[in-house]
Structure 1
Amino acid sequence: MKKNYFIVTLILLVAPFCSQAQVVNGNFENVKPNFLPSNWGMTFLQQIVIDTQTGEQVGDQIQYTWCFPSMVYASTEAKDGQYAMEVSNAYNATEDVVIPGIATIFSDPEQDGPGWNPGVPVEPNASVILLGFDYKFLPVGNDIAEATLVVNDADGNEIGRASLDISGTHSVYEYVYTPITVTNAGTPAFMYISFSMAKEGSTPTFGSRLVVDNVIVNFSTLIVSENPEQGAKVYPTLVDNEINIVPNGFSESVLYKIINSEGKIVKQNKVNQDSTYVYTMDVSDLSSGMYFLNIQDESKNSTKKFIKK
């Protein structure tokens, strides 16, 4: 005689924290000893049959993309920092079906998966206006993945949503973002972010991979508070055609990113230089408005504001 049980396999994801106030471990740098990213993961229900006479457990044969049994895990293919998060599909060889990987954020860093997920609390007066991230997508077939941000009020009612389709092969990092569409009036209290390897109605393929880094929900969370007398210097702050940057402590390989008020990277360049070098960026092609200049090397990160005339 046999009885059916469900054994829950909890699968986590990791993200390094990149000054994102609400996206916990949004840059996937906090990685657990089991190589699961803190505060990200997946709950996978695998049916196990137990023979009551022998006590033997028999379950479906599940194959994973890599050597360890997980569909969400830390990746060393980071855009910035040491780690990113990778999501892949699994294959149920017994049933001959592909199991799509789904990575979800949750608030308890002690758990290895979301379980019952109440969402990540949104701080009072915090701004959750968009979903943005860097990604690489390596599909085996014609897969369509999907990234989703849902914002709820304190009663669990949805008040806003953002979603992005991910398709085609992108072997180098791309940055994407989309604003939230407000669906109901209310005050944000909780948010959910997920990355699914199979958008509803699409067919996942075993072996497809999605690598994600630097997840944000508003651009202001990227701004690092700093003493104005320290760090990089930027002039002028009211710009016609060029902006000058004195790294002032940033050295060797320095990455410069100009980001608009919607959180989109509109210009970037990486320069090998010493800490006294004055770097000039051409901004003549930018539209009038406020921009943020993000400056970073292997150990430091600084953000300055300027206005293009």
Structure 2
Amino acid sequence: MKQNCLFLSFVLLLTSAMNAQVVNGNFENVKPNLLPSNWGMNFTQPVTINIPNGESTSHQILFNTNVPSMVYASTDALNGQYSMEISNAYNATQNEVIPGSATIFSDATQDFPGWNAGVPIDQGAQVYMIGFYYKFLPKGDDVAEAKIEVFDVDGELIGQAEVDIMGTNSQFAYIYMPINFTSNAVKSSMNITFSMAKSGSTPTFGSRLLVDNVVTNFAALGLDDNPITNEFTLYPTLADNELNIIPGHLQSDLIDYKIVNIQGKVVKQNTTTENSGYVYTMDVSQLSSGMYFLQVNSKTGSITKKFIKK
């Protein structure tokens, strides 16, 4: 599966209720020790044992903040009070960087996943992508990674998606990746992990990754997957040459249509003055294959729909 990072630069409305499928996906539940509830990593203080005398010495571990953890709550958030911050640690005794990571887990009484990584998927819940807002502040050429894995009732892997995170993003940006499913089996549980070092990459001490509003479906981002909302209709959602739109309740004297690509760039824009019942057609034959978003704005409201160009 191609590891293409998909970005949206326009703002999407989120609420805490919309993150319900991802436990503490907005990271507003923070423990007194400043650890985000249901997120963390397994880490044991390394110890060196002197074989001749049996004495043990704990390694000197340096953390990026005063919090003795590589996963902690940050007040630098897109929404609400907190986001989750992940950073690397440094083993001064062995002169090596320890990459930070954060994994979701069910037991809120624990501070780290242990053997309890992953969370159950509610019956009928929509889980077909991983999406989140992030800031990435690397000190070197670090490549971080977000990964979601979906399992059936027998614990067999039936779908996964991986997103590379690279480059410096000092402002919150949105990124998502659809899950590649290999089976139609019932989704039973999922595991989400953010790693500061993608396999094969070299972590740098001081690099930071902030994550906020982790979701598993577009509906949680305020994007409606239903083809008809208040009589607004967009078809086909898998378009070849033309996109047909019935504006419904958005109909007014002036309607602005924008097609936005996954980098947030407006690639096509039309404004109409029709004020009677009609089907408006946009030519999308020149667009490259991929996912797009149609933004429709009028004095009576606005709406955003996604479609795919063949």
Normalised by the length of structure 2, the TM-score is: 0.69
**CA apart distance, 1:183:** 2.6
How far apart, in 2, do the equivalents of 1:27 and 1:287 lie? 38
**CA apart distance, 1:220:** 1.9
SS of the aligned residue for 2:18 comes to coil
Task: Tell me which residue corresponds to 2:186.
Answer: 187
Select the structure that is richer in strand.
1
Task: Tell me which residue corresponds to 1:68.
Answer: 67
Answer whether contact 1:259 1:265 (CA < 8 A) is retained. no
Answer whether contact 1:118 1:190 (CA < 8 A) is retained. no
Answer whether contact 1:89 1:197 (CA < 8 A) is retained. yes
Tell me the matched-pair count. 247
Task: Tell me which residue corresponds to 2:136.
Answer: 137
How far apart, in 1, do the equivalents of 2:305 and 2:87 lie? 42
Change (3 A) 1:127 1:84: same
Change (3 A) 1:214 1:306: closer
Alpha-carbon displacement from aligned partner over 1:175-199 (angstroms, at most 9, x marks no partner): 1111001133421100001100000
Change (3 A) 1:306 1:44: closer
Higher RCO, 1 or 2 (CA under 8 Å, sep at least 6)? 2
How far apart, in 2, do the equivalents of 1:32 and 1:287 lie? 52
Task: Tell me which residue corresponds to 2:249.
Answer: 236
Task: Tell me which residue corresponds to 2:231.
Answer: none
Percentage of identical aligned residues = 52
Task: Tell me which residue corresponds to 2:12.
Answer: none
Task: Tell me which residue corresponds to 1:277.
Answer: none
How far apart, in 1, do the equivalents of 2:251 and 2:293 lie? 9
How far apart, in 2, do the equivalents of 1:140 and 1:153 lie? 39
How far apart, in 2, do the equivalents of 1:78 and 1:259 lie? 29
**Runs of at least 5 residues in structure 1 that lack an aligned partner in the other structure:** 1-15, 225-234, 244-257, 269-282, 294-302
Answer whether contact 1:18 1:214 (CA < 8 A) is retained. no
Alpha-carbon displacement from aligned partner over 1:251-285 (angstroms, at most 9, x marks no partner): xxxxxxx999x9x79599xxxxxxxxxxxxxx748
Change (3 A) 1:118 1:97: closer
Alignment map for 1:294-305 (pairs within 5 Å)? none
Change (3 A) 1:38 1:81: same
User: Pairwise CA RMSD of aligned residues?
Assistant: 3.8
Change (3 A) 1:284 1:36: farther
Q: Hey, which bits of structure 1, 4+ residues long, moved more than 4 A?
A: 54-57, 264-268, 283-293, 303-308
SS of the aligned residue for 1:147 comes to strand
SS of the aligned residue for 2:210 comes to strand
Q: What amino acid is aligned across from residue 21 of structure 1 in structure 2?
A: A
Change (3 A) 1:130 1:190: same
Task: Tell me which residue corresponds to 2:243.
Answer: none
Change (3 A) 1:163 1:18: farther
How far apart, in 2, do the equivalents of 1:136 and 1:287 lie? 36
Alpha-carbon displacement from aligned partner over 1:65-90 (angstroms, at most 9, x marks no partner): 01121000000110111110000000
Does 1:210 pair with 2:209?
Answer: yes
Task: Tell me which residue corresponds to 1:93.
Answer: 92
How far apart, in 2, do the equivalents of 1:291 and 1:19 lie? 22
Alpha-carbon displacement from aligned partner over 1:111-139 (angstroms, at most 9, x marks no partner): 11111125210011111011100100000
Task: Tell me which residue corresponds to 1:250.
Answer: none
SS of the aligned residue for 2:220 comes to helix
Alpha-carbon displacement from aligned partner over 1:6-58 (angstroms, at most 9, x marks no partner): xxxxxxxxxx945212101111111111111111111102233579xx99862
